[in-house]
Structure 1
Amino acid sequence: MNDSVKITEDERPRARDIGIHIGVFSPGKYNAITDVKGVLVGHCTLIQGHGPLTPGKGPIRTGVTAILPHDGNMFKQKVPAASFVFNGFGKSIGLHQVNELGNLETPILLTNTLNAPIVADALIEWMMKENPEIGIDTCTVNPVVGEINDGFLNDIQGRHVKKEHVFEALTTAQSGQIKEGAVGAGTGSSCMGWKSGIGTSSRVLPQDLGGFTVGVLVLTNFDGLLTVNGAPVGRKLGHIPFKDPGGSVMVITATDAPLYQRHLLRVAKRAVLGLARTGFYGSNGSGDFFIAFSTATTIPHEPTDVTLQGVAMTNDALSSLFLATVETTEEAVINSILKAETTVGRDGNISEAVDIQKLVRILRDYSIE
């Protein structure tokens, strides 16, 4: 690892840009959830106003992030999915039906806590535009929305994320490299004492383990003692946990491995271990929600066959996917912090970006790569 790294606020690094290589498996081309073929991600970022908080008006530091398992009609072509709640202090929407039926029939949207119902309403409208028969000739639709509390920086009472912002995130969703840090739903979040936001990473298993891809996207807003690849960065920089009442995290895991709901639930749970490696401990006030889905097959809304084809992986084959999920989650969290720039929000509240040079020196002192 180099003694110093040239970094500006305009080009904050990802973990691998500064020599941090987490785990044993290799990342995909973009080291992102979008390395899972078909997955798309879009953001809409809202930044407006400065100074004292005027509830309902601003300042605004928030947004919405959309994760689409594929670019088709998700109501008509659902994907296998599962969700897991580690600590349930949160306002996520739609997770019960995901586990009951074992599938996902809408994109996943992430936003702030008080905006979750408005975002869910917009997602319902989006789905009805694509599927006018919803609620008339067929059943209703199950919107899936996750959230974090960005009220330290944002006028959260204003619920500023509206339908047009949700639609923008959905329509601009793309594959390839995606934006990280203080964007979309991560605009107003903080993690373990520093500015954070959206982070992502991926792993590709060797061919003898199936050659499958696992990708994770995180929205980080939790408390803890930052640890980077084993180095006690938070302790060395004086950022000690237990000062804040809580926080939250959303972890979205995608894979092209042929898994069904029970398998995906097991995968989703392993993301907690990746969080723990970074310093997460699951505080009392933390809302920790995990969703995993597979793109290996789609499930027709009106199936013509009583069996689900192409989803038949054995339990014994899951261990490598578990490890890939742990590694990918860990790196995604670190990326969410490294990529986020210092943000000043309402009432002059400041969430500072982690100092890259100091972090690199700590890693060097501990011989961390």
Structure 2
Amino acid sequence: MAFARDFDIQIGKRPTGPTNSMADIDGLSFGHVTLSDGAIQTGVTVVHPAPDSVFENKCVAACHVINGFGKSIGLMQLEELGQLESPIVLTNTLSVGTASTALVKHMLAGHPSIGETTGTVNPVVMECNDGAYLNDIRGLHVSQDHVQQALDQHAPQLVQGAVGAGTGMSCYGLKGGIGSASRLVDVGPRGFTLAATTLCNMGRLPDLMVNGRPVGAEIMTLQEEEAQAAELGSIIILLATDAPLTARQLKRICKRATAGLARTGTQFGSGSGDVVLGFSTAGRLPHDAPALPVLTMEMLHEDHLDDLFSATIEAVEEAILNALFASKTTKGKHDRVRKSLADWWMKLK
């Protein structure tokens, strides 16, 4: 598996974490179920925001909808309360309902109080449409068992490329998938990490930029194919940090992901669902109010948010490129093929 830096592509100047991925945030873990067999090119990806119950101790969270052509579940309550209380599940568009039911069952199994002595749970499921080119999305191949298998995994490392929810995705007319990157930020005597994970299914090939280079246009001259008329894909951007932030501050950071996405060339087309969800692992919020219901929490001073803004832009841009380089060339329904950017790269030298 190759990444952007394996091709001497370095985005920005900030240092990365040890794995240059969301796995650099302590306490996070991940799961994938990949369904790849002929016309079936789809799957499920799970991000566990904490090693313990995120329902009992919620993460501060926010979201930003860049373009709302999407079918995600759970964002309305997350936006209202500024809290994330379930793992995050990524899958294809028509499997959102299946994934939501499986996630609810998973939460009920682990929390007997839900719906009895306390309220319900807000499941977060996010999607992109892998059926436009590679996957038989009408077949509804993702089952609740597949989602549960992904939820049962707690891998400390995040596998990237054409895996899990990214199996059948297309990006800039090439093979899309899961990508991630991280950045380290020093604020006074303390250091923090911010990381991005992207589910990439957006963009037109002629628009693709790699670190300022018009790579998409170069590929177009080599393959002499007609350009895609409109941008009809989507991207889900997840941001995680261990910096202490309020939901309002996280929303400001989520908005900056737009700049990292734009640097790769996308136009946020009318038919594209582009959504950002950010959460912090610092300052967890207890589900049950303490006897004295006044919480004391840390928050970063506003004057130092610029460091996290630039870290976000760099991490999102590199995460998208990592998805393109790490995703292998894939044949799907109707024998359609999406080539990996890594397969094109040497031809562009």
Residue-by-residue CA offset, 1:262-301 (whole Å, 9 max, x unaligned): 0010111111110101111101100001100000121111
- Counterpart in the other structure of 2:345: 359
- Counterpart in the other structure of 2:148: 167
Distance change in 2, residues 1:360/1:272 (3 Å):
farther
> Take 2:144 and 2:134, find their aligned partners in 1: how far apart are those partners?
22
Q: Is the 8 A contact 1:39 1:175 kept in 2?
A: yes
The alignment partner of 2:233 has SS state of strand
Give how far 1:209 is off.
7.5
> Take 2:77 and 2:235, find their aligned partners in 1: how far apart are those partners?
20
Q: Is the 8 A contact 1:147 1:250 kept in 2?
A: yes
Give me the TM-score of the superposition, normalised by structure 1. Answer: 0.89
Q: What does residue range 59-98 of structure 1 map to in structure 2 within 5 Å?
A: 59-98=39-78
Distance change in 2, residues 1:263/1:65 (3 Å):
same
- Counterpart in the other structure of 2:100: 120
Give how far 1:210 is off.
3.9
The alignment partner of 2:282 has SS state of coil
- Counterpart in the other structure of 2:200: 220
Q: Among residues 73, 78, 81, which one is paired with 1:101 in the alignment?
A: 81
Give me the TM-score of the superposition, normalised by structure 2. Answer: 0.94
> Take 1:190 and 1:26, find their aligned partners in 2: how far apart are those partners?
29
The alignment of Structure 1 onto Structure 2 pairs a total of residues equal to 341
> Take 1:222 and 1:309, find their aligned partners in 2: how far apart are those partners?
41
- Counterpart in the other structure of 1:299: 285
- Does 1:31 pair with 2:12? no
The alignment partner of 2:65 has SS state of strand
- Counterpart in the other structure of 2:233: 247
Q: Among residues 312, 326, 330, which one is paired with 1:339 in the alignment?
A: 326
> Take 2:227 and 2:280, find their aligned partners in 1: how far apart are those partners?
35
Residue-by-residue CA offset, 1:61-98 (whole Å, 9 max, x unaligned): 10000011112111111100001101000100000100
- Counterpart in the other structure of 1:317: 304
Letter in 1 for 2:22: I
Distance change in 2, residues 1:308/1:99 (3 Å):
farther
What is the RMSD of the two structures over their aligned residues, measured on CA atoms? 1.6
- Counterpart in the other structure of 1:259: 245
Letter in 2 for 1:89: F
Give how far 1:309 is off.
2.9
> Take 1:338 and 1:120, find their aligned partners in 2: how far apart are those partners?
30
> Take 2:227 and 2:279, find their aligned partners in 1: how far apart are those partners?
32
- Counterpart in the other structure of 1:191: 171
Q: Among residues 13, 17, 25, which one is paired with 2:2 in the alignment?
A: 13
Give how far 1:360 is off.
5.3
Distance change in 2, residues 1:306/1:331 (3 Å):
same
Letter in 1 for 2:181: S
Give how far 1:354 is off.
1.9
Give how far 1:208 is off.
3.5
Tell me which moved more, 199-208 or 295-304.
199-208
Give how far 1:175 is off.
1.6
Aligned identity (percent) is 44
Q: Among residues 17, 31, 36, which one is paired with 1:47 in the alignment?
A: 36
Distance change in 2, residues 1:351/1:170 (3 Å):
same
The alignment partner of 1:229 has SS state of coil
Q: Is the 8 A contact 1:35 1:202 kept in 2?
A: yes
- Counterpart in the other structure of 2:109: 129
Letter in 2 for 1:19: D
Q: Is the 8 A contact 2:180 2:320 kept in 1?
A: yes
The alignment partner of 2:60 has SS state of strand
> Take 2:146 and 2:18, find their aligned partners in 1: how far apart are those partners?
29
Q: Is the 8 A contact 1:18 1:360 kept in 2?
A: no
Letter in 2 for 1:41: F
- Does 1:157 pair with 2:143? no
Residue-by-residue CA offset, 1:182-240 (whole Å, 9 max, x unaligned): 00000000100100100000001135484110011000000131111111100111178
- Does 1:206 pair with 2:186? yes
- Does 1:329 pair with 2:316? yes
Give how far 1:31 is off.
0.4
The alignment partner of 1:111 has SS state of strand
- Counterpart in the other structure of 1:7: none
Distance change in 2, residues 1:209/1:21 (3 Å):
farther
Letter in 2 for 1:226: L
Q: Among residues 103, 124, 137, which one is paired with 1:144 in the alignment?
A: 124
- Counterpart in the other structure of 1:235: 217
- Counterpart in the other structure of 2:271: 285
Distance change in 2, residues 1:210/1:276 (3 Å):
farther
